[in-house]
């Protein structure tokens, strides 16, 4: 009875609860950042009423990542997930050869490795296509950063 309950609750927790918690944590972090910025701006207005607020907001707001940084992040995640997918597939194949694991669990390892591999290849594909398509924009951003 309890084994059946675990088989039902684990997928529900992983598929429903975990993403909701992740989204809520992201929203909460964004709200905290906004509240901190508001406090800084209000304190600055109280001390210096004639201050240029737009300039202050530009200075304290987080810098947006450059295209090159975004592409390098995709390369990092693509490499990491591809490696993990290949490793998991390799371990599953090794266990399959020596035996000793239930076929249902072994199939889950193969599926997990395949999914990780597919996600990694998609990130790498996105990196290489993005690098080719955004070469001029990246070059323009670098020139702008050097001039600043």
pLDDT in tens, 85-117: 999 999 999 998 888 788 888 899 999 999 999
- Give me the chain's average pLDDT, please: 86
* pLDDT value for 148: 65
| Per-residue pLDDT at 2 exceeds 80 | no
What one-character-per-residue DSSP string does the chain give? Answer: -HHHHHHHHHHHIIIIIHHHHHHHHHHHHHHHHHHHHHHHHHHHHHH-TTS-HHHHHHHHSPPPPPHHHHHHHHHHHHHHHHHHHHHHHHHHHHHHHH--S-HHHHHHHHHHHHHHHHHHHHHHHHHHHHHHHTHHHHHHHHHHHHH-
| Per-residue pLDDT at 45 exceeds 60 | yes
| Per-residue pLDDT at 38 exceeds 90 | no
Delimit the domains of the chain by residue range: 1-61, 63-148
pLDDT band at 59 (very low <50, low <70, confident <90, very high): confident
């Amino acid at each position: 009875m309890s084994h059946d309950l675990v088989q039902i609750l684990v997928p529900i927790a992983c598929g429903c609860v975990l993403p909701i918690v992740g989204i809520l944590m992201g929203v909460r972090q964004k709200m905290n950042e906004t509240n901190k910025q508001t406090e800084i701006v209000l304190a600055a207005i109280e001390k210096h009423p004639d201050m240029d607020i737009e300039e202050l907001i530009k200075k304290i707001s987080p810098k947006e990542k450059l295209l090159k940084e975004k592409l390098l992040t995709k390369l990092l995640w693509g490499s990491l997930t591809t490696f993990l997918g290949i490793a998991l597939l390799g371990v599953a194949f090794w266990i399959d050869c020596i035996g000793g694991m239930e076929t249902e669990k072994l199939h889950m390892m193969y599926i997990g490795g395949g999914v990780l591999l597919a996600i990694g290849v998609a990130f790498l594909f996105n990196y290489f296509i993005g690098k080719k398509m955004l070469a001029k924009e990246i070059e323009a951003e670098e020139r702008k950063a050097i001039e600043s």
